[in-house]
Structure formats: C-alpha cells, structure tokens
Structure 1
Amino acid sequence: MRLHRNLVFAVIDGLLEIFNEGVYADKSVQKQLKRDKRWGARDRGFIAETIYDIVRWKRLYAEIAEVNEPLQRKDLWRMFAVWCTLRGIKLPDWPQIEDTPTRRIKGRFDELSQIRKYRESIPDWLDELGEKALGSKWDAEIAALNQQAPVVLRVNQLKTDPKTLKDLLLEEGHDTENLKAYKDALQLIERGNVFSTKAFKDGLFEVQDASSQLVAPYLGIEPGMRVVDACAGAGGKTLHLAAQMDNKGQIIALDIYGNKLKELKRRARRAGVHNIETRTIDSTKVIKKLHNSADRLLIDAPCTGLGVLSRNPDAKWKLQPDFVEKIQKTQQSLLIDYSKMVKAGGKMVYATCSILPAENQEQIKKFLKTEEGSDFSIEKQKTVLSSESGYDGFYMCLMVKKDKKE
C-alpha cells in the first residue's frame, strides 16, 4: 500500500479532534471525508478505517509509541507509524515519521499482547469492571467487541422482501447474504456505502445490527395494537415495530430529544410508515396521559453501550466509571415511571445494548421488588453476547402486567 500525504493528514486531524476535543468518531470521520470532493471510495475508506482502527487500539499504540495524554500532533504521527508497522505498510520518507524504530515496535507489540488491558486496548477500570461482571467470559467478549462490526441491513417488509432486495442491491454492486436466525436481515459481504443506493433512497431497508433486530419481535406485537416506544431516538426499532404491525394500529414514539424524533419522522416517510405519532417528553404530563393505555411498551433504555463497542470504539475512552453508576439510577427510574403506561394484561420489553448484568438482569430484579414492578412478572429474557453471536451485545426482557380481572 502506498500512503498519500493528504489522506494521512486527514487521519491525524480527525484523531486530534476525537482525542483532544471530545468529538465523536463518526462525526469527525464525516467531517474529514468532506475535505476533498476528488477522493474516491478507496481514499475515503482508508481515512475512515484508519481513524477507527487507531481509536480502537489507542492505548496499545500509545504504549508502543511511548506517548502520553494529552496527545499532540507529533504523538499521533508516532502512533500512525506504529499502525503502519504492525500492518506491514512501508513507511515513506516523510519528516514526521523518520527514524521510526520498526523492529522495537514489533517486539513491544509481542510483549504487550500478553497483558489483556493492552492487548484489548481498554482502560484499567473497564477491564476490572468487565472481569467482575462477566468472569471467565470477559476475555472472549472484549476480544469480540474489538472486531470491526459487520454491516447488516434490515429489509423493510412493508415495501419488499429479502430476495427482491438482495437482487436489487446486487445490481447496484453490493453482494449480500441471508442470516438464518434473523428473518429480516441481509449482511454485506464487502463493506460499502449502501446509503447512496436507489434501494436505500426508496426506503427498502435500514442499516441495523442483527442483535438490534431481535428487539421489536420480542414484544410479540400484532397489527391494530397501541404500542409505545418510550425511548425511540431516531427510530431504528420504531420502524421495525411499524413493519411488524403492517402499518396498522398506533405507535407512539417518545423521546426527550425532539431533534431525534424529527429524524424519525424523516426516516418513516422514506420507509412508507404512517402509523407513528411522535411526542417529545417535555414534562411528566406526556407520560401521565398515557397511563394504563399501551398494549405493548418498549423501553430501549439509555445505557453504557458496552455491547456496541465494535461500532463505537471511542466509547471506551469517553465512558467514565461514574457514568456507569449514574445510568443505572436513570434506568431504574425509567422502569418505574414508564411501566405505568402499560395497561392490565399488556406487556413491556426492557432492552439495553449493554453486556453488564448490573444494567440488565439486576435492574429487572430491583424493579420487580418496587410497588410499580409488583404488578409485573417475567415472561422471558435473553442475553446476547458478541462473542457468541458475532453481532452486538444486547439484553432484552419481556414482562407481562397482571390483569386485575383474572
């Protein structure tokens, strides 16, 4: 591989933003890709994948490069030289990376690969937390979460079916494969920009991880029901619910962020969905008005996101120990407040994209002991580990509310 100076400069600039200015990796990558309209797919792929790679292995590369935070531009050049060396890329004769000790880099990599927190490139506190929470499973799980996430599509069954979409995407140069255990899913065989396809613009699919595609069906919904998606965000799961309901019945999509709900409306138009009503939670009245009215409730709770590190590697560096405790309090209060929207005999799913029992099974145990939770019982629950599924880590629990008439 021959390195091009302007592409590498874009990588370094992106890393500076992510590590020093707190910019999210996906936002920084988007910004860097807009720098030069002449860049082709390969150039853009190099920038995006190199930035994500160095973000993912930041601790390991910084240790090998012998640099400390706050990372300066010269430090990032040293880390880039480590990235090249470990990939067998010949270093060009540039002043920023002259005198790179390639042999020492390889030796140091072999040494550090014996120690998990360096090998998997994670902060000490996170390594300790993972081991305490998952025990012997932590080794395999953190290794799986450090793999680049595959690109999975959810076929919009309101407009097409997997076979038709597969053929249409192939015509546009994207080869896909079916995933047996996920009936609405197609996985890209090679990464590519599917957002520019006619099939995407026509609303025939959404990009949605296979594990995430398990959540909507878990609710056991039927057309004609009243369903509340209480933490809808930009609506990936809301749209899946609408397809499951065949556009019949009512979905009320709630969120505290109005701008996310605007994005949901836009996506719903593209997907041909018209049974969603959005409401911003700007006061407690919004929830009170819906008390005892929902056949089904989805609480896709805010969480640490530890199950999706493979697609958000910068979360390893942005996440702080105090947030882990704080988010558990939020999750419990959401369960208590939002569960009141379920009517007698109705059901709710509590889901997270975390792998920590403290955010999952333990939250449910705690909730069932509360006054609000005493009306509910667990029907089924499922933990999806990345190391076992090959997709995001997830948890989902289906609970049913007692029907007082029974």
Structure 2
Amino acid sequence: MRLHRNLCFAVIDGLTLIFNEGKYADKVIQQLLKRDKRWGARDRGFVAETTYEMVRWKRLYAEIAEVKEPFDRDNLWRMFAVWATLKGVKLPDWKYFEGTPLRRIKGRFDELSNNRKFKESIPDWMDEIGVKELGKELWSKEIEALNQQADVILRVNTLKTTKEALQTVLFDLDIETDFVPNHPSALKLKERANVFSTEAFQSGHFEVQDASSQLVAEFLNVEPGMRVVDACAGAGGKTLHLAALMENKGQIIAMDIYGNKLNELKRRAKRNGAHNIENRAIESTKVIKKLYDKADRVLIDAPCSGLGVLRRNPDAKWKLQPEFIEKIKKTQQEILQQYSKMVKVGGQMVYATCSVLPSENQDQVKTFLNSEAGENFTLVKDKKVLAHKSGFDGFYMALLERK
C-alpha cells in the first residue's frame, strides 16, 4: 500500500475533530468523504477505515507513540506512524515520519499485548466493569470480538421484494452477498460497498441493519392486524421491520422523546412503503397513559450503554463514562415500569438493549418482575447475543407476557 498525502491529511484532520473536539466519528467521516469529488471508492475506503481504526486503537497507539491527550498534529502523525508500522505499510519520506523508531514500535506492541487494557485499547473502568459482570475469560473474548470491524448487513424489505430477488439485483451491480443462517431477512455483503447509492436502496428495497438487531422485531411475535407500540422507536429501524412482518396491516404506534428522530422515521417509512406507522412524540406522560391496556405488543428497545455495538461505534469507548451507565440503568427501569402498562391482558412485550452487561439486561428484567408493575407479567424467554459467538453485535432481548 502506498500512502497518499491528501488522504493522510484527511485522516489527521478527522482525528483532530474526534479526539480534541469530541465530534462523533461517523459524522466526521461523512464530512471527510465529501472533501474531494475525485476520490474513488478505494480512496474513500482508506479514509473511513483508517480513521475508524485509529479511533478504535487510540489508547494502544498513544501509549506506543508516547503521546498524551489533547493530541496536537505532531502527536497524531506519531500515532499514524504506529498504525502504519503495525500494518506493515511503508512510511514515505515525509517530514512527519522522520526518526520513526520502527523496531521500538514493534517491541512496545509485543510488550503491551500482555495487558488487556492496552491490547484491546479500552479505558480502565470499562475493563473493570466487563470483568466484574462477565468474568475475565468471557470479557476477554467479547471485547476482542467488539474490536473487529463490523460486517455490512442488509435487512430485505419484504413489503417490496424478496431476499433472492434483491441478491440478484445487487449481484448485477457487482455487489455479492450471502444469506445469514437463522436471520430470515438478512444479506451479508462479501465486500464493503456503497449500497446507499443503489437504486434498490433509494426504492426502499432494503435497510442497513445488523443481524442481531434484526432478531428483536421477530422476537415480538407480531401478526398482521395487531396494535403494536414501538416505545423507543428512534429513527425506526425496528419499526420498519415490524411493519414488514405485519404486512402493512394493523397499527404501529412509533414513539420517542426526540421528535426529530421520528421525522427521520417518517421519511424512511415513505421510502419503505410502510403505511401502518403512526408517529407520536412523547412530550408528556399523557401520551403513554392514553395507551394503558391498549396494545397487543409493546417493544421497549431501551436506551443503554451501547457496549454491544462498539464495532460500529468505536468512539463510544472514549465518550462513555461509568456515571452514564449508572444513570441509564435507572432510566431503563423507569421505562419498564411505565411503558409496560400499555400492554393489554394477554399481550406481550419485548425489552431489548444493545448492551452485553447483565446489569442492563437480565438484572433489569428480574427487578421489573419482582416489582408491583411487573407482578402480572411472566418471562416467556430471553436471548443473549454475544459478539464473539455470533460474529454480529452484542444484544439482549426478553419476551414477557401479561397474565
């Protein structure tokens, strides 16, 4: 691989914004990719993947480069030299790389590989909470898997097409895909590609959604004609999946405390041809109370630490704080207590998170079932998806029934 100056500068500029100004990596990369219209797919891939890679391994690279935050540009070039050296990329004869100690970098990497906090490039507190909740052996496997680059998984929109038909359409565009066992609507890209520019995407034939995330809507046992509430809908990835599973029949009430996210869902629903979705912003408790005892199914895709999706959000390792996890656990229980009241007798509810921590998952369900609000519910089944076993995001889902 030959390094090109303008691409490397883009990476350094991006890292400055992410590390020093707290900007979100995905938003920064979106902007970087608009920088030069002459860049081809390979150039854009280099900028995106190298930036993500350096964000993912920030602690390890900074330790090897012997630099501390806030990073000035010289510090970032030193970290870049570490990345290149460990990747086996030949450093060009640029002033930024003068005096790079190649052997020392490799030796330091070997030394630090014996310490999980550096090897997996995570903050001390995150390592401690992982060991405490999952045990040393399981946490070591899981955090290693969460540091891998995520595959691109599509969810076929069955309101408009079939898995086989979409696979053929993409194949004609030189985008090869595989079926994913036990995921009825999933296609996995064999190689990364810009699927958003395809006519199939613009016509609403698929959404990009991780395989683990696709299990959640199916877990809810919806049927055409039901009244279903997606209580923390966000921009609606799972809402759209529910609409497809319900064949556009019945009613889905998509709720969220953020109205702007529901606006995005409205746009996506139009593209998907999903007509049975009604958006309701949660501006007060009245919105919830109006639906008490009215829903056949309720989905609570609860706000969480996001520790199961670090593969696609590596900057969360540096943004997340232990206080946030304690705070979000209180919110999760409050949501369970209030939103469960929307389930009618005989109805079902799924509580789901994209976290791998039992304290956000099984423990929350247990606390709920032991509470007054949960005394009329029973746990039908639950599913724990770990990244090192599935190869996809870490997720948890529990199906509860109101007696």
Q: Which residue of 1 aligns with 2:362?
A: 361
Q: Deviations over 1:340-363 (max 9, x none)?
A: 111111110000000000000000
Structure 1 segments of 4 or more deviating over 3 A?
Answer: none
The one-letter code of the counterpart of 1:287 is I
Please state if 1:16 is matched with 2:28.
no
Q: Which residue of 2 aligns with 1:101?
A: 101
Q: Normalising by the residue count of structure 2, what TM-score does the alignment of the two structures yield?
A: 0.99
Please state if 1:302 is matched with 2:300.
no
Q: Which residue of 1 aligns with 2:92?
A: 92
SS of match in other structure, 2:267: helix
Cα separation, 1, equivalents of 2:249 and 2:261: 23
Map 1:2-401 to 2 at 5 A: 2-135=2-135, 136-401=137-402
Q: Deviations over 1:75-102 (max 9, x none)?
A: 1100000000011111111111211111
How far residue 199 of structure 1 moved from its aligned partner, in angstroms, is: 0.8
The one-letter code of the counterpart of 2:133 is A
Cα separation, 2, equivalents of 1:102 and 1:359: 43
Cα separation, 1, equivalents of 2:62 and 2:390: 31
Cα separation, 2, equivalents of 1:15 and 1:309: 18
How far residue 284 of structure 1 moved from its aligned partner, in angstroms, is: 0.8
Q: Deviations over 1:81-135 (max 9, x none)?
A: 0000011111111111211111100000011011111100000110011011101
Cα separation, 1, equivalents of 2:251 and 2:163: 26
Cα separation, 2, equivalents of 1:161 and 1:243: 11
Q: Deviations over 1:281-306 (max 9, x none)?
A: 01111101111100000000000000
Cα separation, 2, equivalents of 1:67 and 1:345: 59
SS of match in other structure, 1:59: helix
Cα separation, 1, equivalents of 2:184 and 2:376: 33
In structure 2, stretches of 5+ residues that fail to align are: none
Cα separation, 1, equivalents of 2:368 and 2:70: 42
SS of match in other structure, 1:160: coil
How far residue 34 of structure 1 moved from its aligned partner, in angstroms, is: 1.1
Cα separation, 2, equivalents of 1:395 and 1:347: 17
Cα separation, 2, equivalents of 1:224 and 1:181: 25
The one-letter code of the counterpart of 1:58 is K
Cα separation, 2, equivalents of 1:119 and 1:63: 11
The one-letter code of the counterpart of 2:74 is K
SS of match in other structure, 1:374: coil
Cα separation, 1, equivalents of 2:273 and 2:5: 44
In structure 1, stretches of 5+ residues that fail to align are: none
Cα separation, 2, equivalents of 1:153 and 1:121: 29
The one-letter code of the counterpart of 2:233 is A
Q: Deviations over 1:6-35 (max 9, x none)?
A: 111110010011111110100010111111
SS of match in other structure, 1:344: strand
The one-letter code of the counterpart of 2:82 is V
Cα separation, 2, equivalents of 1:246 and 1:63: 53
Cα separation, 2, equivalents of 1:354 and 1:372: 24
How far residue 71 of structure 1 moved from its aligned partner, in angstroms, is: 1.2
Q: Deviations over 1:232-259 (max 9, x none)?
A: 0000000000000000000000001111
How far residue 2 of structure 1 moved from its aligned partner, in angstroms, is: 1.1
Cα separation, 2, equivalents of 1:290 and 1:171: 47
Cα separation, 1, equivalents of 2:16 and 2:337: 41
Q: Normalising by the residue count of structure 1, what TM-score does the alignment of the two structures yield?
A: 0.98
The one-letter code of the counterpart of 2:23 is V
Cα separation, 2, equivalents of 1:244 and 1:124: 42
Q: Deviations over 1:166-188 (max 9, x none)?
A: 00001112000011211100000
Q: Deviations over 1:29-86 (max 9, x none)?
A: 0111111111111111000000000000000000000001111111110000000001
Cα separation, 2, equivalents of 1:370 and 1:71: 48
